Amino acid sequence: MSEFDAIFVGAGHNSLACAAHLALKGWKTGIFECSGAIGGAVQTSEFTLPGFRHDFGAMNLSLFAGSAFHKKYANELKAHGLEFAPVADCFASVFPDGSWFGVSNDLEKTAARMAGFSAADAATWRRLVAAFPAEAEHLFRLLGSPMSGRALAGTAWNLWRKKGSAGALGTGRLLLSSPRAWLEETFESPHVRATLATWGMHLDFAPDIAGGAVFPYLESMANQCFGMVLGKGGADTIIRALSGMVTAAGGKITTGAEVAEITVGAGKATGVRLASGETHTATKAVIAGVAPGALPGRLLPDGSGDAGFDSAMKKYRHAPGTMMIHLALDDLPGWSAGADLRQFAYVHLSPSLDAMSRTYQQAMSGLLPDEPVLVVGQPTAVDPSRAPVGKHVLWVQVRMLPAEILGDAAGTIAPAHWDQVKERYAERVLDIIERYAPGLRRKILGRAVFSPLDLERENPNLVGGDQICGSHHLAQNFLFRPARGFAGWNTPVTNLHLTGAATWPGAGTGAASGYMLAQQLGGR
């Protein structure tokens, strides 16, 4: 048995950031991870062939590069090997009519492409970019602050002081709007609208869902103004750096160590019991980086002592599932719409707002979508070190999908377990890509397909293949993430805290929940 100041259940990047900060504040920290590798959904591995490094889940590290944690610990992270690969050509969409539109960090390039669809939209884009620094101040302050009355009051006061009542109401309206409402009010080109709307689908915001407009807005403006960054050699560069910080400060990380129970005495978390039978005590905190449903009846066999909290954790809503297809390639896709597409980090295949809405509804109804939203990542266009010389990797995220298959919207795949149908569905995905990049199959040297259930097997937090660990719809975001009254990473059990994508401020690689919790526990 060992004694720690803080014990962490799970070694995702939020837990690692929290542990690193606390360890540097003098806390004795212990991290227990059930799998053989740390990092949660931020991992990189040779899933196809030796020498081809594929990001398991997260690929875009812009949030981490711009995070408060990175700002404070940039030197320490760099000393432990953190290295970014900057992206100039960030994201693009290709369309069935043979056209494409993309956002680069060069305003003139982006505006010229947009003017090809609409001169009015290009002028609007320039106005949005000019206004973004002032708008971003308030949005980033909101997303980077705890969900406490004091923090919210400070954000609201700052917003009103700088923008006035009308401006503050405009920001509030953006936060409440659906992607479609904002895009149709702002742009006239359907191609531009569709290109930006795909960022809502990276979460679980189909075009008509309230609260989703802010994500296409922030992602498009940030990419235009700052560009994007990937991890040099793979997204796991942040995991290696974070774990290096933890261990250098005296923290202990144990893999292959499943936590069977969080031990509780007199209403206070006292430590953990591993599946092996080992017990470890925590004198100050137990921090669980888990999906909320893992708490009542499982990690807390007798519950939290608060029936309302336990019920909310059991009813926590997960987003639709995802499939990941990793390809080792002889060459990048030959996009028929234009060779310039080969240099973009992301190419989206989703032709319209209506197509996205239909796909989302099909998945929510338990159907395999006939035309899923495809996010095609081309990391080796930016970072050639991920593959042998002259070769490439392709990262294909298939959104949205049901965890349990009740039918097929295309009527060609009979309902069955994902283990039986995943390869057939992967062929549907490749067929779609081939429409836009003929000859892709001839370039494939190796492939690995992860169904929604495969993703959950690899990481229990990805329930049903939900890569964002929970819906971000308004009823489960802000003050309601993961549940009303518990947006401060707290639980009814004293000294037991939650961290990770299921907690405020949600999914992404910014490590914000872990860092803000660490500051709350150990000081700044």
pLDDT, position 1: 80
pLDDT, position 309: 98
Assign a CATH topology to domain 2-42+57-84+234-316+470-522: FAD/NAD(P)-binding domain (3.50.50)
Measured from the Cβ of residue 217, the count of other Cβ atoms closer than 10 Å reads 25
What is the chain's pLDDT, residue by residue, as a tens digit (524 residues)?
899 999 999 999 999 999 999 999 999 999 999 999 999 999 999 999 999 999 999 999 999 999 999 999 999 999 999 999 999 999 999 999 999 999 999 999 999 999 999 999 999 999 999 999 999 999 999 999 999 888 888 988 988 898 899 888 999 999 999 999 999 999 999 999 999 999 999 999 999 999 999 999 999 999 999 999 999 999 999 999 999 999 999 999 999 999 999 999 999 999 999 999 999 999 999 999 999 999 999 999 999 999 999 999 999 999 999 999 999 999 999 999 999 999 999 999 999 999 999 999 999 999 999 999 999 999 999 999 999 999 999 999 999 999 999 999 999 999 999 999 999 999 999 999 999 999 999 999 999 999 999 999 999 999 999 999 999 999 999 999 999 999 999 999 999 999 999 999 999 999 999 999 999 999 98
Helical spans, DSSP H, in 384-495: 418-436, 440-443, 452-458
Helical spans, DSSP H, in 144-227: 149-176, 179-186, 190-202, 214-226
Which residues does residue 85 pair with via DSSP β-bridges, in sequence order?
230
pLDDT, position 242: 98
pLDDT, position 167: 86
Question: Which phi and psi angles does 8 have, rounded to 5°?
Answer: -110, 130
Which residues does residue 100 pair with via DSSP β-bridges, in sequence order?
94
* Nearest by Cα to 201 from 472, 440, 422, 489: 472
Specify the DSSP class assigned to residue 60.
Answer: B
pLDDT, position 107: 98
Place of tokens 């309902």: 415
pLDDT, position 175: 95
Place of tokens 């889940």: 57
* Nearest by Cα to 236 from 69, 13, 394: 13
Domain 320-458, CATH class in plain words = alpha beta
Question: Which phi and psi angles does 45 have, rounded to 5°?
Answer: -155, 165
Domain ranges of the chain: 2-42+57-84+234-316+470-522, 103-225, 320-458
Indicate whether this model's pTM tops 0.95. Answer: yes
Residues contacting 11, CB < 8 A, separation 6+? 31, 32, 33, 38, 39, 40, 243, 253, 255, 289
| 3-state class percentages of the chain: helix first, strand second, coil last, to nearest 5 | 40, 20, 35
Residues contacting 165, CB < 8 A, separation 6+? none
pLDDT, position 151: 87
